[in-house]
Structure formats: structure tokens, C-alpha cells
Structure 1
């Protein structure tokens, strides 16, 4: 097992390299980079102002701008364009920029945002509480609801309970999470009916003045609607997966043998079936957690005015803020690969019979 973990850790290096390289090539080919955006902004500013003087900053540097830099139909002065390219690091060829980026990442230096005037790591730390809150609680509640519900549906397959819960699951699967979010706002956040929950932020403005218990209540008060929307919009697949996995195991021969020996249904279900049926659930946990944690909450963040990692990554991609794009890509990919490895290790904890070192001819 130790050798397997070591190989997986070493495999992370070429995987990260390949993902960064592919995305670097794609982004370099996309039009409208930071240099083009700055040139367009300066041309519009200078032509509208009839000549202006000042300094612009970005990408860890700044250049001076004078009214004479803009020359009408000829565009900006080529020297100013070169200064802008130098400011954003585009005065070097693409392979050299990629190599510099890799060396910086090995030192955990992700650079500074082109447009936010802050380091990428500081931005991630600043946005992390929102994404951790949404991802952690929604995933935890989703598993706590879906697994017992899936087991109950499997043991009552074909009953009235199974029928009605399947109807609720189909509704949850068919309607996206952001539509549930809008519905919750209309019902409970002052839309048309009740005004029970806040609509903006992770905490109240007077959060620092509250007692410890008041802070905890205020925190969950703000999280109730967005987490509920995420859970309702995502629990259907996991519930059905749990049900089908348990149904498949319940019909196997070893379950019949266990019942024939006189074991109770509870002992058969949780002593034998549970361990085997939960393998596929555990396999999907890392992908579910990473998906909700980093990407699935984008629209929820927008609807509930929560400034988290999902919204920051989306804005960075739109604005071609390359340090933020690649910094978050590196961190998210690394975390995802490590969590996937943890999921594989958990396999062996649930079922010690699994041996990643064994190979069949």
C-alpha cells in the first residue's frame, strides 16, 4: 500500500504539468488578453479625453501614459505597447513564460492579480471561507440525507414510501439548484412571502459585536438558503446511486446465505451489505466534494451575493486575469488529485480485501 501511495504521489507531478500545459496553450490562443484589454482601454480613454497624463499599473508594474501616446487611427505609440507587454510579462516568448510560471509554482509563488492589486494566495484565502462553508456543509448534509434515504428505499423497494420519495427525487433532479435558490428567495428572503433569511453575505454587519453563540447562529442563518438550494439540487443522484448499489448487493448469494444462518435483517444489512455497497459511494465522494466546493456554487454565489472562489475564478477567466486563472487551477487540481488518492485509500479501510498492489494476469 505504501508503494502504491508513493507511485500515486509521483504521478501527480506529470498530471499537474500536463493540465497546466494544455490550459496554457488554450488560453494563449484565446483573443482578448490583458494586453489587448489595456490597449483598448487606453485608446478609448485617450480619444475621449483628448489627451491625458498619468500612470497605469498591473501585473506587478506600472507605466506612464501621456496624451501624445495616442495617435488617432495609428493607435498607441509602439513604445507604450511594448511597456504594457513588459508590465504583464508578455515581452517574453510563450515557452519562457510557461517555464517561469512553473518555477514560481514550485516555490508556491502564484504571482499577483493583473486587475485586483493583490497576490493570488491572498485572494484565495480571502474567498476561501465562502467556498468552504458552501462546499463543506452542503456535501455533509447531502451525504447524511442521501445515504440513509437510499438505504431506506432499497429495503422498501416498490412500496408507497419508495414511490413518493422517488417522485421527490425526480423533481430535485429535474430542477437546477439555482432555480431552487430563486424559489427560496421568493418564499423566505423577502421576495413575495416571508422575510426570514438574509439575502447577502456570509455574516451580518454587526458580526464582530455578537457573542460566540450569536456568531454561530448568525453564520448558519446566512447559510441556510444557499446550502438548502445546493442540497436539494444535488442529492438525487447520490440517493439513487445508494439505492441501486444496495439493491444489487441485497440480491446476491452471500446475503441469502447470511439470512439462512438466522441473522437479523439489521445484521445482514449493516454487517455484510453495507460494507460492499458503500464502495461505489466512497468512490464518488472526492468528485462530488471537489465539484461542489470549487465549481458547483458559482450561480449560488451570484444569487446570494456571496463572494467566493467560484465567482472569483469565473471573473478571472472572463477578464483574462492569468495569474488568478493558473494559480487557482494549480491549487484546485492538486487538491483534487490528493482527495482522489484519499478516496482510494478509504477503499481499503471500508473493505480490507481490496489490494491495489495485486495484479491479475
Structure 2
């Protein structure tokens, strides 16, 4: 086991490097970038200003454009150069022998483009020191933004994982007891259909049925708390939070409980056929006593050991879609906004952090499996 853990740990950095390299390379082929986003915003503001002043005559409009207002003419080349330097796409180089502060306004200095390769390795060097930089558009460090949004995503992931266990364990036990019966057949068909429904479609369906007002307006349409949340009592705050989190939790749980249900069923079937269960039955113990007094304790070890892995998959795979659909201010919505705005420090910083966390939790999950069930030997499988 020690050799397996060592191999997994040694693969963490190469795996992270590969993840970051592929995603960084993809961004080089995607049209647009952070500077283009700024240009688009400035041009949008300029168009809005022209619409507001549209009643003025042509001479007045021309005078406005030729005067002090710069937005209508876009961004000047000097400002573009400063933005490229500020965002790390270029550097300021000065003539040999220059002793002052490098500044593009100085005739002795000029802009020099930084290659994508150099930018990538500089970024990875900073990330190895856990220096994730500052967001281009939010004026906050990436670490502060992640810490600020993390509680929302963690709470959503925990509630969804707990609900998945509350559904999967009783259902899996029942399927094991009724293995091969009509109940086992139709429940298997039902959970396969549930697993096949895309999370986005199910989330929108829940909103239309229970929050949009088209049918039943039982739950809020968006957000994690009401506008008057601060004025509520402690019990009122808790109820308001649960009221808002219900639909997002159900939407994520739909696709996460299927695997856990089948794992529970197979684990119980494996235990039910063992000799100690036959011995307990031969002693005259009731079926309930055999099932919950002997089988449950042993069968649930492997199921409980899968909690970290399930929580991680729910947190990372479901948060992006669900938080965006329900306007929950968590990591998923933050990542979506960063991708749309081409906020590269935020995109790559969160990607690196999540990749590292998922790899480490994957190792911890494997270790947990071997501790609760010594029959699992990853070294033999690797060999």
C-alpha cells in the first residue's frame, strides 16, 4: 500500500501540469480575451452615450467625439499597451543604460510581447508557491474570492450528498433484499432514467413546476436567502435558508444517488451470501435482526468510505450548472462568470486549486477504502 500511495503522490504534479497545460492551450485558440472584454465594455458604454445624445445635431455629436470624451473613440493605443503590461501579456523594456523607472510614457521604453510559453511557465511557478494572483475585473485576490464563495458551494455539496445517502441507503438495502423481484426491476429502470436526465434540464423543470409561478410557486426562484433575511430570528433564518436550498439540492441529488444506490445494493448482496449470515439465520434470528444487526454494520463500511469521493463529485460537477441556474453566489457561478469575462487568473487559479484538491481527496478516498475493506488491494490492480 505504501508503494501505491507513493506512486499516486508522485503523479499529482504531472497530472496537475497536464490539466493546466491543456486548458491553457485551449484558451489560446478561443476568440477574445480580457482586453477584448474591456474594449467591448467601453464600446458598449460609448454606444449607450450616443443613444442618449441622439437628439443632438450632427455638429454637436462631432464636437462631443472630438472633445474630452474618449469612450466614443474606443481605447487609445497607449492605454491598450498599459493594459497588456498590467495583465501580464507584455513587459516594459527600456534602452540599454536606462536608469529610471520603466514606463511606457518614456520615449526610451517600449512594450515587448510575452510569449504564451513564458506566460504559462511563469504562472505554474507562481502556483507552486500558491500565488494565484489577482482577478482582472473584481480587484480582489483569487484566494480571497475562492474563500468568500466557498461556503455556498460546500453547503450545497454537503446537503446534496447527505440527501443522496438518505435516499440511496434505504433504497439499496430494499433492492438487495428484493433482488430479482419486480420491485428490483422497476426501481433499477427508474434510477437509470433519473441518471440519464441532464442536470440542467431537471433544474429548469423544477423551477418551472415549483418556483416559476406557471404551476406552483412553492419555492423561491433564485438566491440563497430572502431580502429580509437579516431581520429574521435564528429559527427564521434557518427555515429561510432551507427553503431556498431545497430545489438546488434536489436537482443535484438526482444524478448523484444512482451510483451510491447500486453500491449499497451490491455491498449488501455480498454480505448476505456470507457464512456468518447463514449461521445467524440458523440460530433462529429474525430477518430484521440479521439484516440490521449483522449485515448492515459490515456492508455500510464500504458505502460510508465513499462519502469523500461523492461529495467531491457533487461539489465540482454540479455546482457550475446549479449555481448558475439558481443564481447562487458560489464557486460554480464565480467560475462561470470568470470564463465569460476571460478572467484568466480566476479561471486558472480555481482550476489549479480544484485539481489539487480532487487529486488529494482521490488518494484519501482510496486509502479509506483499503482501511475499511482489506480485500481491496490497489497495488495488485496496478501490477
The answer as to whether partners of 1:246 and 1:274 remain within 8 angstroms in 2 is no
Measured at CA, do residues 177 and 341 of structure 1 come closer, stay the same or move farther in structure 2, by a change above 3 Å?
A: same
Moved more, 231-240 or 300-309: 231-240
Name the CA distance, whole Å, in 1 between partners of 2:71 and 2:219.
Answer: 52
Aligned to 1:218: 240
- Root mean square deviation of aligned Cα: 3.5
Deviations 1:158-199 (A, max 9, x none): 334324533542442343333333343344336234433222
Aligned to 1:82: 81
How is 1:168-317 mapped onto 2 (pairs within 5 angstroms)?
168-189=190-211, 191-247=213-269, 249=270, 255=274, 258-259=277-278, 262=282, 267=290, 271=294, 275=298, 279=302, 281=303, 285-317=307-339
Name the CA distance, whole Å, in 2 between partners of 1:28 and 1:347.
Answer: 40
Q: TM-score normalized by structure 1?
A: 0.79
Deviations 1:101-149 (A, max 9, x none): 2232233221111122222122212222221121111012102311331
Name the CA distance, whole Å, in 2 between partners of 1:325 and 1:82.
Answer: 23
State the secondary structure of the residue aligned to 1:21. helix
Task: Give the CA deviation at 1:306.
Answer: 1.3
Measured at CA, do residues 228 and 349 of structure 1 come closer, stay the same or move farther in structure 2, by a change above 3 Å?
A: same
Are 1:329 and 2:351 counterparts? yes
Are 1:32 and 2:32 counterparts? yes
Measured at CA, do residues 86 and 270 of structure 1 come closer, stay the same or move farther in structure 2, by a change above 3 Å?
A: farther
Aligned to 2:65: 50
Moved more, 38-47 or 107-116: 38-47
The answer as to whether partners of 1:51 and 1:68 remain within 8 angstroms in 2 is no
Task: Give the CA deviation at 1:89.
Answer: 0.8
The answer as to whether partners of 1:188 and 1:197 remain within 8 angstroms in 2 is yes
Task: Give the CA deviation at 1:16.
Answer: 1.8
Task: Give the CA deviation at 1:258.
Answer: 4.9
User: Among residues 152, 155, 165, which one is paired with 1:143 in the alignment?
Assistant: 165
Name the CA distance, whole Å, in 1 between partners of 2:42 and 2:225.
Answer: 39
Aligned to 2:178: 156
The answer as to whether partners of 2:172 and 2:265 remain within 8 angstroms in 1 is yes
Name the CA distance, whole Å, in 2 between partners of 1:309 and 1:25.
Answer: 23
Name the CA distance, whole Å, in 1 between partners of 2:72 and 2:333.
Answer: 38
Aligned to 1:58: none
Measured at CA, do residues 69 and 347 of structure 1 come closer, stay the same or move farther in structure 2, by a change above 3 Å?
A: same
Name the CA distance, whole Å, in 2 between partners of 1:52 and 1:338.
Answer: 58
Task: Give the CA deviation at 1:154.
Answer: 1.5
Name the CA distance, whole Å, in 2 between partners of 1:16 and 1:310.
Answer: 20
User: How many residues were matched structurally?
Assistant: 341
The answer as to whether partners of 2:65 and 2:72 remain within 8 angstroms in 1 is no
State the secondary structure of the residue aligned to 1:297. helix
Bigger-Rg structure (1/2): 2
Task: Give the CA deviation at 1:344.
Answer: 1.0
State the secondary structure of the residue aligned to 2:169. helix
Measured at CA, do residues 299 and 53 of structure 1 come closer, stay the same or move farther in structure 2, by a change above 3 Å?
A: farther
Aligned to 2:150: 128
Moved more, 76-85 or 115-124: 76-85
The answer as to whether partners of 1:259 and 1:268 remain within 8 angstroms in 2 is no
User: Among residues 115, 120, 124, which one is paired with 1:98 in the alignment?
Assistant: 120
Name the CA distance, whole Å, in 2 between partners of 1:121 and 1:287.
Answer: 24
Aligned to 1:73: none
Task: Give the CA deviation at 1:335.
Answer: 0.9
Name the CA distance, whole Å, in 2 between partners of 1:144 and 1:258.
Answer: 25
Aligned to 1:20: 20
Name the CA distance, whole Å, in 1 between partners of 2:215 and 2:71.
Answer: 56
- 5+ residue gaps, structure 1, are 55-65, 71-75
